[in-house]
């Protein structure tokens, strides 16, 4: 019965097979989906940090502060002499009072031959004082009008503050929404990255286990080929009886060798197709 010949060429072939497996050890690498999830998570993390560090910046704070100061510092004060309307009344009543005073004094003087007497002066002064009294009676009305104007201005300022506060609150809410969106997306992609990387690691562990099995088979095959080559060498230098014993052993080893080579080749082809 013919059997395989094991020599230096056989050992070289087994060594090349061993090295081929050894040189193709798998290495862990993140998949494209994993890298994309990592990049997205980092992008939203940076955006979130920048928004938090930058803080909220209102477009209305300066105007609101100015209006608040105006409202708080705008106390009601009324001085008739500072009122243009009062000055108009003052000029009018003084002018009309003086005219009436002259008319009354003239009338009384006419009755006494054109001479002005104390009675005429007193009557004229009384008329003038009546006009001055009317002028003073205008002051409460002027003060009330001034208060109404002041109150209206204060209310207008409050309305402006309220409107701007509404705008500011809406702007702040948009800012908070963006911060929350960044945080939510960051969390989502962090979880996606963790899940995807876990799958990558699982696939790597499976690939590593297959490679370790191939290495074990290649190591065992190389060791057996070396032993068989040594036996082949000895076979060529022993007696016929010993030769027959060696032949029997070699046939058994041949069968085991063919099994190992077949298994190694099958594992290797399956791994190649999986990678493809």
pLDDT tens-digit map of 194-247: 999 999 999 999 999 999 999 999 999 999 989 988 888 877 775 555 666 656
- Is 142 part of a structural domain of the chain? no
Q: Where are the alpha helices (DSSP H) in the chain?
A: 8-22, 32-54, 61-73, 84-111, 118-235, 240-275
Across the range 121-126, mean pLDDT stands at 85
Res 228: pLDDT: 87
- Is 203 part of a structural domain of the chain? yes
Across the range 137-142, mean pLDDT stands at 92
What range does the domain containing 228 cover? Answer: 8-79+151-275
- Is 250 part of a structural domain of the chain? yes
Res 232: pLDDT: 80
- The 3-state DSSP class for residue 115 equals coil
End-to-end CA distance of the chain: 42
Q: Is the pLDDT of residue 151 over 70?
A: yes
Domains in the chain, number = 1
- Residue 114 banded pLDDT, cuts 50, 70, 90: low
- Is 143 part of a structural domain of the chain? no
- Is 130 part of a structural domain of the chain? no
- Is 13 part of a structural domain of the chain? yes
Res 276: pLDDT: 42
Pick from 30, 25, 27, 29: nearest CA to 213: 25
Q: Is the pLDDT of residue 273 over 60?
A: no
What is the rounded average pLDDT for all residues in the chain?
Answer: 87
CA-to-CA dists, residue 189 to 49, 50, 175, 176, 183, angstroms: 16, 18, 21, 20, 10
Integer Cα distance of 98 and 124 in angstroms: 9
- Is 207 part of a structural domain of the chain? yes
- Is 138 part of a structural domain of the chain? no
Pick the more confident residue, 28 or 231: 28
Q: What angle do CA 260, 262, 267 make, to 5 degrees?
A: 95
- Residue 118 banded pLDDT, cuts 50, 70, 90: confident
């Amino acid at each position: 019965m013919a059997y395989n010949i094991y020599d230096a060429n056989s050992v070289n072939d087994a060594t090349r097979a061993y090295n081929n497996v050894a040189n193709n050890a798998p290495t862990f690498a993140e998949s494209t989906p994993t890298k994309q999830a990592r990049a997205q998570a980092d992008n939203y993390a940076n955006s979130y940090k920048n928004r938090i560090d930058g803080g909220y910046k209102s477009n209305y704070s300066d105007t609101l502060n100015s209006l608040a100061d105006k409202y708080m510092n705008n106390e009601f004060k009324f001085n008739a002499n500072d009122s243009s309307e009062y000055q108009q009344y003052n000029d009018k009543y003084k002018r009309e009072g003086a005219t009436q005073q002259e008319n009354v004094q003239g009338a009384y003087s006419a009755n006494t031959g054109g001479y002005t007497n104390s009675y005429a002066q007193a009557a004229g002064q009384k008329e003038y004082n009546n006009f001055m009294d009317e002028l003073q009676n205008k002051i409460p009305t002027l003060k009330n009008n001034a208060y109404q104007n002041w109150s209206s201005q204060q209310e207008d300022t409050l309305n402006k503050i309220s409107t701007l506060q509404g705008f500011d609150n809406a702007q702040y809410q948009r800012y908070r929404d963006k911060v929350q969106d960044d945080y939510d997306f960051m969390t989502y992609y962090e979880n996606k990255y963790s899940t995807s990387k876990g799958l990558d690691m699982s696939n790597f562990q499976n690939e590593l286990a297959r490679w370790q099995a191939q290495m074990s088979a290649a190591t065992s095959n190389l060791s057996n080929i070396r032993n068989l080559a040594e036996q082949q060498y000895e076979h060529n230098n022993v007696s016929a009886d010993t030769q027959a014993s060696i032949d029997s052993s070699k046939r058994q080893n041949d069968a085991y060798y063919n099994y190992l080579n077949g298994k190694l080749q099958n594992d290797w082809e399956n791994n190649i197709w999986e990678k493809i």
